[in-house]
Amino acid sequence: MQVSMTVNGRQRTDDVEPRLLLAHHLRDVCGLKATNIGCDSTSCGACTVVVDGLTVKSCTVLAVQADGAQVTTLEGLTGPDGEMHPVQRAFREEHGLQCGFCTPGMVMAAIGVLADNPDPSDREVREGLEGNLCRCTGYHNIVRAVQAAAKSGPAAGQVPQAQEVEA
């Protein structure tokens, strides 16, 4: 079956098996390795991406369901001059990561939190990220990172538009 989607600003048309998960499509077909596979059951959130402006766990979305969609992965957040997205920058500055496995999904989920609420409280950040697991940080620095990103303005809750990113 053929699917067409825009991934990180790049239009793609690929032949896929109807049962192929979006997470595997992004990793194995598109070569975008930041979308991590942790559980295949929505429990961990390591595979979180933005599809048509909404954060989704790509391990429970079929690639064919994303036909015609705009998909943004962590790789698609970097600006044209290599500048980091405000959420990426805040995660680095606030030490919101350790091993890094959950970080791509956590960053993408944080963008969703900030898109819904540009000035969240600690509790609202924790509730917004509740479906994303981190076994290293204890979440304190992740919450601080999301709040620091919120202070950078509305861009923290947005993904870059139509910028082509090579795999």
CATH (domain of 14): 3.10.20.30
- Say if 27 falls within a structural domain: yes
The residue segments making up the domain with residue 37 are 2-76
**pLDDT, tens digit (0-9, with 9 covering 90-100), for 100-143:** 999 999 999 999 999 999 999 999 999 999 999 998 887 999 99
Round to whole Å and give the CA distance between 83 and 124. 28
Residues 94 and 139 in one domain: yes
Check whether 42 has a pLDDT greater than 90: no
**pLDDT, tens digit (0-9, with 9 covering 90-100), for 60-104:** 999 999 999 999 999 999 988 899 999 999 999 999 999 999 999
Check if the beta carbon of residue 69 is closer than 8 Å to that of residue 157.
no
Round to whole Å and give the CA distance between 22 and 58. 5
- Say if 32 falls within a structural domain: yes
- Say if 140 falls within a structural domain: yes
CATH (domain of 152): 1.10.150.120
Look at the chain and report how many structural domains it folds into: 2
- Say if 90 falls within a structural domain: yes
Where among 76, 102, 118 does a domain terminate? 76
- Say if 52 falls within a structural domain: yes
